[in-house]
Structure 1
Amino acid sequence: MYINQPKKPFLKRITADNKKRTIVLASIIVFILVIGGAFLYGKSLLEPVKKDSKTTVNVNIPSGSSVSAIADILKENNVIKSEKAFQYYVKYKGASGFQAGYYHLTKGMDLNTIIKKLTNGGTNYAFQITVPEGKQLTQIASAIAKETKYSEKDIIAKLDDQTFISKLKKQYPDTITDDVLNKDIKHPLEGYLFPATYPFTDPDASLEDIITAMIKQTNSYVETYKSSLEKKKLSIHDALTMASLIEEEATAKVDRHKIASVFYNRLEKDMPLQTDPTVLYAAGKHKDRVFYKDLKIDSPYNTYKNKGLPPGPIANAGESSWDAALNPDKTDYLYFLAKSNGEVVFTKTLKEHNKAKEKYITNKDSE
């Protein structure tokens, strides 16, 4: 008699084989995920700490530093994500010859960029502050804050501090005078921080030292132009104020000495200067254009409502504006206006000025 054999053991074998295949397949997937994850993680360690960041981080690499020590310094300053990743990458790239010095890095730099800088060599200064021409004190405070540990609020407070200003008066009596203490002045040292690049070798330079370096540079120009100031019977405060107006009104295509002539001609005729930058300074705003409603602002800086120079400078001024303030052209011009392309039209009468205004501004606005 033929008896059917039970199929159950066969099914068990199939089930067991399926389990094995499943376990193997799962293991392969996990392995791939682990390897892939490790690769992605490792790749991320080579990327910038903060992509697109342009804030300068000043790093000092001492002489004789090993790759390991350099990695620790970079991590401590938060310009790399991992010390080990940096060391492995340096070895992988075969990079060597790293040099001592100060390096001005950013969190937006990748390892390739950092390694290249370390190979090329650093600077002999811990940090530097660049102060462009035509900048107001609040903007300069921002530039200082960007390169140092000091906040804008602390910098402004120091710049306005009467004790510090008294100290500067004693140190630079020809430059910092009682004129800066006028009650109508917004910031006593506005216009006194000379536009230049200032390197500092001490990474912990005090705020007073930083500001004093800028005042010292202004003082050197005061000494240079001392005879011109005396000849023109112009105080340093008024000279800086005039230079700041010229700086703020000037474009790349204008003769600053002609602008100076207009301002001096108007002062001589007891006419208000009517310069738009003073209105914007009074309002504390940065705008491309001044409207008639802006001209009504009640402020001693508003040269549409007040005759003469404003209480003090409205920005810092470069050497070309200084020279224009002390050596204006001899002209009969009383008006000027800037065309859209930056060129400036000078006129002698209000009638000529209005014609130029209609031709170059009013008609342009209606297009």
Structure 2
Amino acid sequence: MYIKRILLVVALIGLVVLGIFSYNIYNYIFSPNTAFEEQKVTIYIPTGATYEVVLDSLKPHLKDVSSFHQVAQKKGYDPKAGKYTLERGMNNNDIINRLRSGNDPVRVIFNNQERLENLAGRISTQIEADSTELLEAMKESEFLQQNEFTTANALGMYIPNQYEFFWNTSAEDFRKRMKREYERFWTEERLKKADQIGLTPHQVTVIASIVQKETAKVDERPKVAGVYMNRYKNGWKLDADPTVIYAIKQENNNFDTIIKRVLYKDLTLESPYNTYKYKELPPGPIAMPDISSIDAVLNYEDHKYFYFVADVENFGYHKFAETLAQHNRNKQAYVRWINQQGVKR
């Protein structure tokens, strides 16, 4: 009887110990372990990050770092690069599962970049790859040759839009994806339209970039594109101020400068981008054209206008003319207005 009592007491103690142990284990794994008040926080895990690096990133957001560490060790957690969202009230098990398989995509947005350098800088703020890596990938000669691009026209491969990427996308994978998007954009219908107007996709993009710089009004772009197509088809020089501005910036190696007025002396600048001097299209786009500008060239308005100038009575739009005499009359109003504003450059 005495032995039975001892065994019973031992069994009860064992059950209590087991209960306490199980309770602690349950708490370690399933009790909420977040220390932030926000509904969500974002964690970025760099490529090649060690467990210690991840733990350091998590520490400010955990109530009990020790319990997380123990559960992570038991579950054999191995860091994976990416962007992860933690939600208030998550337990250690939830957090580890999220860090294992919850890599969130990021929205990458870009438009109207003037050069590959600007594009690389813009993209580097949205994914892990830095601007140097991105620019090197964008300018890689082997890639450009294989895909029939040059450093001058490579900007045209990046169609401005909104895309989903994983944050840890490499520079090469970004470039590869954008090449696929370029091929997807240039549908059979668009290629056929380009062929019908006697242009290659590269040439369409160059003219579209000029249209983009000439007018911010989407509804006016087909009309402006029609002017440039009339000049191009008739063997005229394009005489486009935005190309001269680009040439000046390139000559001075300063793309941050703001030029509001093109002077007569600028028209003699020696540059393949100076369309007042050369009939040939520039070797590449002078900016990243919107899809609306590309489609404006492909579907340009069929009219008889060869000239246009800013309309000072309807800002943002332009006055169009068929003859130089009519254009000069329109131009006088603009010159008077710009002189009144004191714009000298």
Band the TM-score falls in, shorter-chain normalisation: 0.5 to 0.7
| Count of aligned residue pairs for this structure pair | 261
Match of 2:158 in 1: 193
C-alpha contact (below 8 Å) 2:226/2:301 kept by paired residues: yes
Match of 1:348 in 2: 322
Match of 1:146 in 2: 125
From 154, 175, 179, the equivalent of 1:215 is 179
**CA 1:218 to 1:157, structure 2 compared with 1: closer, same or farther past 3 Å?**
same
Matches within 5 A, 1:56-75: 59=44
* Aligned counterparts of 1:348 and 1:232: Cα–Cα separation in 2: 21
Deviation of 1:361 after TM superposition, in Å, equals 3.5
Q: Which amino acid aligns with 1:59?
A: Y
**CA 1:348 to 1:148, structure 2 compared with 1: closer, same or farther past 3 Å?**
same
State yes or no: 1:334 paired with 2:334. Answer: no
Moved more, 289-298 or 272-281: 289-298
Deviation of 1:135 after TM superposition, in Å, equals 4.5
* Aligned counterparts of 1:189 and 1:74: Cα–Cα separation in 2: 41
Deviation of 1:233 after TM superposition, in Å, equals 3.0
* Aligned counterparts of 1:299 and 1:217: Cα–Cα separation in 2: 31
**CA 1:162 to 1:350, structure 2 compared with 1: closer, same or farther past 3 Å?**
same
C-alpha contact (below 8 Å) 1:253/1:344 kept by paired residues: no
Match of 1:137 in 2: 116
Match of 2:280 in 1: 308
Q: Which amino acid aligns with 1:290?
A: R
1:126-160 Cα shifts (integer Å, max 9, x gaps): 43321124653222111111123433233222211
State yes or no: 1:270 paired with 2:235. Answer: yes
Deviation of 1:298 after TM superposition, in Å, equals 1.3
**CA 1:323 to 1:126, structure 2 compared with 1: closer, same or farther past 3 Å?**
closer
C-alpha contact (below 8 Å) 1:253/1:343 kept by paired residues: no
Matches within 5 A, 1:225-240: 225-240=190-205
What SS is found at the alignment partner of 1:271? Answer: coil
Q: Which amino acid aligns with 1:217?
A: E
Deviation of 1:281 after TM superposition, in Å, equals 2.2
Q: Which amino acid aligns with 1:240?
A: T
Match of 1:261 in 2: 226
From 76, 86, 104, the equivalent of 2:57 is 76
Moved more, 157-166 or 357-366: 357-366
Q: Which amino acid aligns with 1:204?
A: N
What SS is found at the alignment partner of 2:246? Answer: helix
From 149, 157, 168, the equivalent of 1:204 is 168
Deviation of 1:364 after TM superposition, in Å, equals 4.0
Q: Which amino acid aligns with 2:334?
A: Y
**CA 1:59 to 1:360, structure 2 compared with 1: closer, same or farther past 3 Å?**
same
State yes or no: 1:320 paired with 2:292. Answer: yes
Match of 2:33 in 1: none
Question: Unaligned stretches of 5+ in structure 2?
Answer: 1-35, 37-41, 46-50, 65-81, 90-97
**CA 1:352 to 1:87, structure 2 compared with 1: closer, same or farther past 3 Å?**
farther
**CA 1:347 to 1:155, structure 2 compared with 1: closer, same or farther past 3 Å?**
same
1:244-284 Cα shifts (integer Å, max 9, x gaps): 22122221265111111100111233221111221222223
What SS is found at the alignment partner of 1:270? Answer: coil
Match of 1:92 in 2: none
* Aligned counterparts of 1:151 and 1:294: Cα–Cα separation in 2: 36
What SS is found at the alignment partner of 1:273? Answer: coil
Matches within 5 A, 1:275-294: 275-282=240-247, 283-284=249-250, 285-286=255-256, 287-292=258-263, 293-294=265-266
What SS is found at the alignment partner of 2:283? Answer: coil
What percent of counterpart residues are identical?
28
TM-score of the aligned structures, taking structure 2 as reference length: 0.65
**CA 1:58 to 1:294, structure 2 compared with 1: closer, same or farther past 3 Å?**
farther
What SS is found at the alignment partner of 1:255? Answer: helix
**CA 1:152 to 1:330, structure 2 compared with 1: closer, same or farther past 3 Å?**
same
C-alpha contact (below 8 Å) 2:311/2:334 kept by paired residues: yes
C-alpha contact (below 8 Å) 2:83/2:168 kept by paired residues: no
Over the aligned positions, Cα root-mean-square deviation in angstroms equals 3.5
Answer with 1 or 2: which has the greater Rg: 1
* Aligned counterparts of 1:352 and 1:74: Cα–Cα separation in 2: 72
